[in-house]
Amino acid sequence: MDKEKELNRTNDIVKQLLINDPKTRNSDNHLYCCVVKTICPDALCKPFWEVVEHQNQFGLPCFETVRRTRQKIQAENPDLKASTKIESFRSVNEEIFKEYARS
């Protein structure tokens, strides 16, 4: 699958999950598990290291792609944003990371 198709598929899956499962708005870990369950439910029965090491063979996007897709969708759709508490936490962590990256 070419990269554009993969990104569009990931976008469609993530958006549907954000709409249908509010918990995915607050937890990237939960969101990624739901993405895996949607794309390749059999991967959930495999050891974690195997899924991570062979994610392309399972047809799975990388975790960071899912996280960035979630971030983009939430920026474009305020009704799908995380809770205020989680948004605050993410904002603080972003600032801390920016400071870290500058040093």
Give the per-residue pLDDT at 92. Answer: 81
Q: Work out the mean pLDDT of the chain and round it to a whole number.
A: 93
How many CB atoms neighbour CB 35 within 10 A?
A: 22
HEC profile of 54-91: CHHHHCCCCHHHHHHHHHHHHHHCHHHCCCHHHHHHHH
The Cα 93–Cα 68 span in angstroms is 15
Categorize the per-residue pLDDT at 30 as very low, low, confident or very high, splitting at 50, 70 and 90: very high
Tokens, residue 36: 């895996």
The residue ranking higher by pLDDT, 1 or 99, is 99
Tell me the percentage of the chain whose pLDDT exceeds 70: 99
**pLDDT surpassing 70 at residue 98:** yes
**pLDDT surpassing 90 at residue 28:** yes
pLDDT digits (tens, 9 = 90+) for 32-52: 999 999 999 999 999 999 999
**pTM to 2 decimals?**
0.87
**pLDDT surpassing 70 at residue 78:** yes
Looking at residue 73, its amino acid is I
**pLDDT surpassing 70 at residue 1:** no
